[in-house]
C-alpha cells in the first residue's frame, strides 16, 4: 500500500546513521548558562530576577510578556551574575540572563502527581502555561496559544509530528525509541485539553523501529493511530504532515486550526507530559550534535542556556576539516557566526559540516530556467521568480508570487543547479515588505 505523503518534495541524503544509534546521554552541567528572554515567536519575556539573586533549578526567571509568549526558567541552581544583550543563533542581540551554576542541582518545588490525567482541561492548560512549553521542532511557537483556538475554529484532531525529516537530526527518533509511553501520555493530555477524540503520530518510514515502539505504546489507545509516512523532505512541515495524515489541505496563508488540526512535536509531547505529571518546566531538551565535522556525534539531554561551544567540546571537538556549524538541520538551520551561542528551547541540533561541499555565496550563478525548483516546491510556488525579483530589488512584486506562502524549507535551493541562495533572497524580500 502506498504510504501517505504530499505533492512535491525532495530526497536529500538523510545522514542519520552518524547519530541514530547514540542513546540520549545527560550533557555535562555547564559552569554557567546564558538564557535568552526571547526564545520563540511573539513577545519576549520580562526578567523577574536581579543580579546577585540566588535561583533554584526550575525557578521562573522571566515572565511571559503577552498572550503569545512563554515564561523561562533557570536550568541550574546558582546565582544571577549578569543581565544584558547577547547574540542568539541568528546573530540578533537578545536580552539574556547569565547564571553561575553552583553545581548543587537544587530544584524548586516540583511534585509527582500520578493522577495527572484526572486533572481538568483548564488545570492541564495551566500546567502547560506555567512550564513555559513551546514547540520544540524549531519554530518554538508557545504551545498554550495552539491549545487556545478561537470558538469558531473547533479542533477535532491532534497530530504528533515524529517525521523528523531534516537530514542528520535524530533527537526525536531517540525520544520515540526511549520514551514512547511518555510521548503517548503527552498526546492524551493534549487531546483532553482540546476535547478531541482522534490522535495520530506521523513518522517517516525510514524509522521502522520508532514506528514499532510507538505502535506498541499506543496499543491500548483506540483513539490513537501511529502512521508510517513516505520518506520525503519536508514531510515534517505542518501543512505537509496534515495533508499526509488527514488528507486536509490548509488554505494558503492559513493555519492548521483552519482545518481543525493541532500539530505538536514529539519533544513537545514529552514536555507536556512532564509538566502535567511533575510540574516540571521546560529547562532541558534533547539536542543532536552531529555532522562529518564533529569527532563524536551524540544525542544529548542539554540544559537550556548551555553554550554550543560546551557541547562541541563534550563531543570531542571539531575536526580540522569542519567548515561550518549550523543550529538546526542543513535544510532550515542557521549558520552560527559564534559558538558562544546558547541552546534554546527550539534547538533541535548542532551540525558541523566539512568545508568541502559547502556552497559559498559568491559561487552562485544566474537562473537557467530549468524549472526544477518549481517542480519540487511543496507549496506550488515559483521559487525561481521569487529569487530573481528579490535579487533585483522588486520586493513588492514578489508578493504577487505569494512570497509569504514560502515557509523557507530550502528544497528549492537544494535542487538548484546554479546554487542560487533562493531562501536567503526570499527571507530578504520578506523582511522588507509587509505581508
Are 283 and 58 contacting, i.e. CB atoms less than 8 angstroms apart?
A: yes
The three three-digit cell numbers of residue 277, written as one number: 505529571
Q: Which is nearer to ligand SF4, 37 or 416 (CB)?
A: 416
Tell whether omega for the bond before 234 is within 30 degrees of 0, i.e. cis: yes
Are 409 and 237 contacting, i.e. CB atoms less than 8 angstroms apart?
A: yes
To the nearest whole angstrom, how small is the minimum distance from the Cβ of residue 423 to ligand SF4? 5
- Our finding on whether 331 is near ligand SF4 (CB under 6 A) is no
x/- letters, 18..57, toward ligand SF4 (CB under 6 A): ----------------------------------------
- Our finding on whether 300 is near ligand SF4 (CB under 6 A) is no
Q: Which stretch binds ligand SF4 (CB under 6 A): 29-37, 51-59, 222-230, 368-376?
A: 368-376
Q: Which stretch binds ligand SF4 (CB under 6 A): 54-62, 313-321, 346-354, 365-373?
A: 365-373
The three three-digit cell numbers of residue 156, written as one number: 477535532
Residue 76: DSSP 8-state = S
Q: How many residues make up the chain in this entry?
A: 435
- Our finding on whether 243 is near ligand SF4 (CB under 6 A) is no
- Our finding on whether 297 is near ligand SF4 (CB under 6 A) is no
To the nearest whole angstrom, how small is the minimum distance from the Cβ of residue 51 to ligand SF4? 43
- Our finding on whether 372 is near ligand SF4 (CB under 6 A) is yes
Are 347 and 328 contacting, i.e. CB atoms less than 8 angstroms apart?
A: yes
Q: Which stretch binds ligand SF4 (CB under 6 A): 166-174, 262-270, 319-327, 361-369?
A: 361-369
Q: Cell numbers 487556545 correspond to what residue? A: 148
Q: Which stretch binds ligand SF4 (CB under 6 A): 141-149, 240-248, 290-298, 403-411?
A: 403-411
**HSE-up of 340 (CA within 13 Å, CB side)?**
5
| Secondary structure of 130-151 as H, E, C letters | HCCCECCCCCCCEHHHHCCCCC
| Alpha carbons 73 and 66: distance in angstroms, whole number | 16
Cβ atoms within 10 Å of 110's Cβ, excluding its own:
16
Q: Name 126's Cβ contacts closer than 8 Å, sequence gap at least 6.
A: none
To the nearest whole angstrom, how small is the minimum distance from the Cβ of residue 411 to ligand SF4? 4
- Our finding on whether 416 is near ligand SF4 (CB under 6 A) is yes
Q: Name 157's Cβ contacts closer than 8 Å, sequence gap at least 6.
A: 196, 198, 199, 200, 246, 260, 261, 262
Q: Which stretch binds ligand SF4 (CB under 6 A): 12-20, 86-94, 196-204, 362-370?
A: 362-370
- Judged by CB under 6 A, the residue of 135, 305, 342, 410 near ligand SF4 is 410
Q: Which is nearer to ligand SF4, 72 or 381 (CB)?
A: 381
- Our finding on whether 404 is near ligand SF4 (CB under 6 A) is no
Cβ atoms within 10 Å of 66's Cβ, excluding its own:
11
- Our finding on whether 406 is near ligand SF4 (CB under 6 A) is yes
To the nearest whole angstrom, how small is the minimum distance from the Cβ of residue 2 to ligand SF4? 23
Q: Which residues pair with 327 in a beta bridge?
A: 334, 350
Give the phi and the psi of residue 182 in degrees, each rounded to 5: -65, -35
- Judged by CB under 6 A, the residue of 131, 381, 398, 429 near ligand SF4 is 381
- Judged by CB under 6 A, the residue of 30, 199, 349, 383 near ligand SF4 is 383
Q: Which is nearer to ligand SF4, 288 or 387 (CB)?
A: 387
- Our finding on whether 373 is near ligand SF4 (CB under 6 A) is yes
| Alpha carbons 384 and 376: distance in angstroms, whole number | 12
- Judged by CB under 6 A, the residue of 133, 217, 423, 429 near ligand SF4 is 423
Are 379 and 410 contacting, i.e. CB atoms less than 8 angstroms apart?
A: no
Q: Which is nearer to ligand SF4, 308 or 377 (CB)?
A: 377
- Judged by CB under 6 A, the residue of 7, 153, 369, 392 near ligand SF4 is 369
- Our finding on whether 409 is near ligand SF4 (CB under 6 A) is yes
Q: Which residues pair with 161 in a beta bridge?
A: 202, 265
User: What is 320-372 written as a DSSP string?
Assistant: TTEEEEEES-TTT-EE-S-S--B--TT--EEEEEESTTPPPGGG--------H
Residues that bind ligand SF4 (CB under 6 A): 367-373, 377, 379, 381, 383-384, 387, 406-412, 415-418, 420, 422-423
Amino acid at each position: 500500500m502506498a504510504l501517505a505523503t504530499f505533492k512535491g518534495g525532495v530526497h536529500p541524503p538523510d545522514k542519520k546513521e552518524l547519530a541514530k544509534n547514540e542513546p540520549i546521554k545527560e550533557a555535562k552541567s555547564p559552569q554557567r548558562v546564558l538564557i535568552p528572554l526571547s526564545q520563540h515567536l511573539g513577545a519576549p519575556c520580562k526578567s523577574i530576577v536581579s543580579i546577585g539573586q540566588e535561583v533554584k533549578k526550575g525557578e521562573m526567571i522571566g515572565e511571559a510578556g503577552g498572550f503569545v509568549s512563554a515564561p523561562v526558567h533557570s536550568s541550574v541552581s546558582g546565582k544571577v551574575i549578569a543581565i544584558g544583550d547577547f547574540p542568539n543563533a541568528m546573530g540578533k542581540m537578545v536580552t539574556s540572563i547569565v547564571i553561575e551554576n553552583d553545581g548543587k542541582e537544587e530544584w524548586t518545588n516540583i511534585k509527582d502527581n500520578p493522577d495527572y490525567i484526572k486533572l481538568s482541561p483548564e488545570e492541564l492548560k495551566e500546567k502547560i502555561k506555567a512550564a513555559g512549553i513551546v514547540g520544540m521542532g524549531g519554530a518554538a511557537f508557545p504551545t498554550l496559544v495552539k491549545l487556545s483556538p478561537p470558538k469558531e475554529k473547533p479542533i477535532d484532531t491532534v497530530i504528533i509530528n515524529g517525521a523528523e525529516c531534516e537530514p542528520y537530526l535524530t533527537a526525536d527518533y531517540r525520544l520515540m525509541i526511549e520514551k514512547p509511553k511518555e510521548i503517548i501520555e503527552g498526546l492524551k493530555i493534549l487531546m483532553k485539553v482540546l476535547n478531541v477524540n482522534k490522535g495520530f503520530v506521523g513518522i517517516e518510514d525510514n524509522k521502522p523501529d520508532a514506528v514499532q515502539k510507538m505502535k506498541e505504546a499506543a496499543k491500548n489507545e483506540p483513539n490513537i493511530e501511529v502512521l508510517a509516512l513516505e520518506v520525503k523532505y519536508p514531510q515534517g512541515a505542518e501543512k505537509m504532515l496534515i495533508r499526509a495524515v488527514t488528507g486536509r489541505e490548509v488554505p494558503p496563508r492559513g493555519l492548521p486550526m483552519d482545518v481543525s488540526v493541532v500539530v505538536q512535536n514529539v519533544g513537545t509531547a514529552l514536555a507536556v507530559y512532564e509538566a502535567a505529571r511533575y510540574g516540571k518546566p521546560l529547562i532541558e531538551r534533547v539536542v543532536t550534535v552531529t555532522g562529518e565535522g564533529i569527532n563524536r556525534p551524540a544525542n544529548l539531554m542539554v540544559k537550556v542556556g548551555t553554550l554550543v561551544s560546551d557541547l562541541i567540546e563534550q563531543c570531542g571537538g571539531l575536526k580540522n576539516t569542519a567548515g561550518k556549524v549550523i543550529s538546526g538541520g542543513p535544510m532550515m538551520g542557521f549558520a552560527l557566526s559564534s559558538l558562544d551561542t546558547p541552546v534554546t528551547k527550539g534547538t533541535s541540533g548542532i551540525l558541523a559540516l566539512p568545508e568541502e561541499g559547502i556552497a559559498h555565496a559568491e559561487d552562485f550563478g544566474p537562473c537557467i530556467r530549468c524549472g526544477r525548483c518549481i517542480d519540487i516546491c511543496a507549496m506550488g510556488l515559483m521559487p525561481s521568480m521569487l529569487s530573481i525579483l528579490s535579487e533585483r530589488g522588486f520586493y513588492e512584486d514578489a508578493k504577487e508570487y505569494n512570497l509569504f506562502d514560502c515557509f523557507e524549507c530550502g528544497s528549492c535551493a537544494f535542487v538548484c543547479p546554479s546554487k542560487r541562495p533562493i531562501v536567503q533572497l526570499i527571507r530578504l524580500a520578506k523582511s522588507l515588505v509587509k505581508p
